[in-house]
Amino acid sequence: MIVPKSQSVALPLSSKPAMTTELFYNRLPCGSRFLDLTCPQVMGILNVTPDSFSDGGRFAHIDAALRHAASMVAAGASLIDVGGESTRPGARGVPPAEELERVAPVVEAIARELDVIVSVDTSTPAVIRETARLGAGLINDVRALCREGALKAAADSGLPVCLMHMRGEPGGMQQHPYYDDVVAEVRAFLADRMAACVAAGIAVERIILDPGFGFAKSLEHNLCLFKHLASLNDLERPLLVGVSRKSMLGQVLGREVDQRLAGSLALAALAVARGARILRVHDVAETVDVVRMLAAVEEAG
C-alpha cells in the first residue's frame, strides 16, 4: 500500500526526548521535511542496482522499488536511502548517466507518493543536482564529497549531507587496509571533510557523519571503531551507523548474508547506546522495535 504524502515531519520513534543530545539541532531540515533527531531514526536501504551484496537486482524496476519503499515506511522508516551504485568490496564503477537513469525515477516517485525523507546514496555531482531537484532531502556520500564537483553540487542543493570515511575506492579498498590508530584516523578524516564542507558553503548544522564500517577496514578495525564509537560524538554532529548484514557479522558469527539479522540488531542496539542518531538498515521493522524498546527503558521512571 502506498502511504499518502502529507505535511507531517519524519516519524519520531519516541514521544519524549529521553535520548536528546544538545550537541546539534534536533530538527534537521531535509528539503520539504524535517528529521527529528531527539531520538534515533531508522533509514531503510533501497538499492536499485544489479550487484549490491545483499539485495542486488531485487528492486531495479520502479514498481518493485516503490513497493519496497512503501513497506519500509509502513514499518517505521523515517528515511529511504536510494542507491544506484554498488559500493561493496570489488564493485565496479558506474557511469554517471547510468547511475542517474537508475536513481532519478525512483527518487521522484518516492518523493511524490510517500511521506518520507528521500536520501540519495551517491558521490556523483550530476546525481546530486538532479535528485535534489526531484525531491531528495539528504545526500549520503560514501566518498565524503571528495569527487570533483561534489562539494559544489551539494552546497548548491541546500540539502544536508552525510560524510562517510573510506580510503581508496570500493574496487580495492579491502586490499590490506592499515591504520596506526583507526579511531583517531577516522575522526581526523571526518573533521577534515567537515572543514572542507564549511569552506565550500555547507553549514556545519547540515552535516551528518558516518564512520564507514566495512569500508577499507579489517574486522579488527571495525570492532575497535565500534567499541570506541562514542568518542566520535566529540565532533558534535549526528552519527549515522550502517552495519546491517555486513561481512563483519559473517566473520564473527559464521553466518551467511541472509542469516545476520540477530547480529545486525545487536549492533543497532550498541550503536544507539553509543550515541548513533540514524541507523541505516535492511530490516526496518525489527530495528524499529529495538529502538522503541530502548526508548521505553530510557523513559521509565
Enzyme catalytic residues:
246, 280
Give the orientation angle of helix 261-273 with respect to helix 219-227, to 10 degrees.
40
Q: Are 31 and 136 in contact (CB under 8 A)?
A: yes
d(CA 171, CA 174): 8
Q: Indicate the helix (H) or strand (E) that contains 140.
A: strand 138-141
Give the CA angle between residues 32, 78, 244 to the nearest 5°: 135
Q: Are 10 and 36 in contact (CB under 8 A)?
A: yes
d(CA 57, CA 78): 24
Cβ contacts of 286 within 8 Å, gap of 6 or more: 261, 265
Q: Are 267 and 243 in contact (CB under 8 A)?
A: yes
- Report which of 25, 124, 33 is spatially closest to residue 73, judged by C-alpha positions: 33
- Report which of 100, 91, 6, 95 is spatially closest to residue 52, judged by C-alpha positions: 91
d(CA 19, CA 295): 8
Which residues face 27 on adjacent strands?
A: 36
- Report which of 290, 288, 249 is spatially closest to residue 54, judged by C-alpha positions: 249
Give the CA angle between residues 191, 193, 194 to the nearest 5°: 65
Q: Is 217 helix (H, G, I), strand (E, B) or coil?
A: coil
DSSP 61: S
